[in-house]
Structure 1
Amino acid sequence: MKSILIIAIFFLSLPTPSFSLSQPCNKNDEKVLFQIKKSLGNPYLLASWQKTFDCCHWYSVKCNKTTGRIIALTISSGNISGQIPHEVGDLPYLKSLEFRKLANLTGEIPSAITKLTQLTILRLSWTNLSGPVPSFISQLTNLFDLDLSFNDLTGSIPPELATLPNLAGLRLDRNKLTGVIPESFGRFSGNFQYLYLSHNQLTGDVPRSLGYLNFTLIDFSRNQLTGDLSMFFGANKTIQIVDSSRNGFQFNLSEMELPASLTSLDLNHNKIYGSLPATLTGLNLQYLNVSYNRLCGKIPQGGDLQTFDNTSYFHNRCLCGLPLQACT
């Protein structure tokens, strides 16, 4: 009897487990999710989308625990064919929408997404989406993150995107976009920090208005862009990574004032002339490539410059000094 009492006291002394009460999935949202599943051909990836489970516990779905409304839909890395269902616009509390790594997802970006007024994250990448980058995306004024990379999007970049007041960065890389970088991009808000436009068919000079922004990363590589990049550099800038390789940029590198924040600089395969500025020796560089340009003069000694091999410097007009041949 005494031993039973001791055991009872022991269990009563254990902390009481806390159960987080949350609202069940909203029935209207559940109905929309079933329509999305049907539009996508009832794929195996969405096999958990069954009446026997509360839809807040379905794969690829996230709910607000207080309201039971769907706030995130992430469909990725599955065998899904078809187009983005227009029904996604009928999830009014959605804050994050992602369709990623879906090779058989085709068609254009649907205008129905303009109904998602609370959307902060839109990632439609690594698919076969085609058509233009739609200007109606500018209606999603709460967007913080916009990623349309690795698709088959064509046409020009809509200047209206610059009106998105909360955007921190934009990815349009690895598409088939043509035309120029919009002058309006210099009017992005102060929150705007990164811009990926690589592997497209963009032409023309980079607008000088972009110099009004304080980027941390720009990637313009593998286009047909021309002109000057000096507007991105300066003592007061905070840029860390610059890749403008394989373009037609033409400017005097020796006149560039490189900020202390710079850690990666790739300028290979352009028409850049002048000499390497001595300020490069004071940077904490993790990557440097200035090959295939028209640079001359002695490679400054010191810092990290001699830790890079000759491929970072070769095929210039008359660049010399370690790790290249000695200057004469």
Structure 2
Amino acid sequence: MDKTKTLLFFLFLFTLLLTTSFSKNLCHKDDKKALLKIKRSLNNPYSLSTWDPSTDCCSSWSGVHCGDDFKYRVTGLFINSDDKLSGHISPEVGDLTYLENLVFQYLPNLTGKIPPTIAKLKYLVLLWVQSTNVAGPVPGFLSQLKNLQFLDLSNNKFSGSIPTSLSLLPNLLSLNLKGNKLTGSIPESFQRKVLYLDLSHNHLSGSIPKSLGKLHFYSIDLSWNKLEGDASMLFGANKTTYDIDLSRNKFQFNLSRVKIPSTLDHLDLNHNRITGNISAQWTEVPLSVFNVSYNKLCGRIPNGGNLQKFDSSSYFHNKCLCGAPLKSCK
């Protein structure tokens, strides 16, 4: 081997050694230590088999993301879709100091509670604990996450009331507590920025706070609860709401008097105690979903718009509605 080839060979070895050594140290040692404890708390599932202590967590561990803002620090943890994974959320999650996104999703054998150490994650923007068997009350300490924008705790086993402190989160854009066992009333107020609110499929009761009427939701779903009283404040001509679902409750208000957002596309009011009639203003809204069945509405269904595009199931079991697609008015 001549000198040039020898030099190139050793240069290659040096580069390989340097690259290997550098790549092994990308992941911060404190993050790696916390991740390995999280893995043990989940009983070392096969889906986390790439979490090998001898490799770099930033480049080769599934579900682990290291962000650009904090070099070589873990900013995202995504554990999902594993029906064989079992265990609980380890308190060491709170040791991932720079975490911005945390997801535990579609894990039917994940149990226990949300650990209080999560409140240490001051950079957290997104928290999803979705479709698991995590239980207990919705933690009030989540209100300490001042940068949190997206909170999804849907389809779990949470019980008790909704902490009023959640309404104080200054940057919250989306709150999804669907499909739990929550009781009590809806907290009095949320910050103005909340665009998406889903509290459906719980056991909430009482009337909804008037303060919700001051918010401009993109989507609000309160269906399948035991809520009652007036919900007309959720409507408004000056709003930009796309989706309203109040079905399967005990709401009572006069539909004739509501002002409809021109942006409304989905409306489901079935199985309530709503009175009044369907006014002509509903023909001006390009609805793709519309259901007012099982209420106490009366009068002629106006012709025009999309109202006749829905079949009779969207209108039946009312006090005295008539006209297409129902029977003609006498």
TM-score normalised by length of structure 1: 0.91
In structure 2, how many angstroms separate the alpha carbons of the residues matched to 1:59 and 1:277? Answer: 55
> 79-88 vs 50-59, which deviates more?
50-59
Gaps of 5+ in 1: 1-18
Quote the Cα distance in structure 1 between the aligned partners of 2:181 and 2:41: 27
Once the 2 structures are TM-superposed, how far is the Cα of residue 254 of structure 1 from its aligned partner? 0.6
Residue 311 of structure 1 deviates from its aligned partner by 0.3
Matches within 5 A, 1:66-85: 67-78=71-82, 79-85=84-90
Q: What is the CA–CA distance in structure 2 between the aligned matches of 1:167 and 1:311, rounded to whole Å?
A: 37
In structure 2, the partner of 1:294 is 296
1:108 matched to 2:143? The reply is no
Query: Quick one: distance in 2 between partners of 1:52 and 1:136?
Result: 35
* RMSD of equivalent CA atoms: 1.4
2:214 corresponds to? 212
2:288, 2:34 → 1: CA distance?
48
Give the drift of 1:225: 0.2
Task: Pick the aligned partner of 2:183 from 178, 183, 200.
Answer: 178
Determine helix, strand or coil for the equivalent of 1:162.
Answer: helix
SS of 1:203's partner is strand
Q: Give the drift of 1:184.
A: 2.7
**Structure 1 residue 230, shift from structure 2 partner:** 1.4
The amino acid across from 1:285 in the alignment is L
Structure 2 residue matching 1:108: 3-state secondary structure: coil
Q: CA deviation at 1:53?
A: 2.3
**In the alignment, does 2:45 pair up with 1:43?**
yes
Question: Aligned residue for 2:7?
Answer: none
Q: Which residue of 1 aligns with 2:273?
A: 271
Q: Which runs of 4+ in 1 moved over 6 A?
A: none
Counterpart check, 1:191 vs 2:193: yes
User: Residue 148 in 1 paired to residue 153 in 2?
Assistant: yes
Give, in whole Å, the separation in 2 of the partners of 1:94 and 1:297.
56
Matched letter for residue 239 of structure 2? K
Q: Deviations over 1:107-130 (max 9, x none)?
A: 111101011111000000100011
Partner of 1:96: 101
Query: What residue is the counterpart of 1:32 in the other structure?
Result: 34
Point out the more displaced range, 230-239 or 123-132: 230-239
* Superimposed CA distance per residue, residues 171-209 of structure 1 (whole angstroms, 9 cap, x where no aligned partner): 001000000001133xx1x32101100000000001111
Could you tell me how far apart the structure 1 residues matched to 2:208 and 2:43 are? 44
1:197-237 deviation line (CA, Å, top 9, x unaligned):
00000000011111111111110000000011111111111
* Rounded Cα–Cα distance in structure 2 between residues aligned with 1:51 and 1:170: 36
Distance, in Å, in 1 between the alignment partners of 2:54 and 2:250 is 59
Q: What is the TM-score with the length of structure 2 in the denominator?
A: 0.91
Identical columns (%): 55
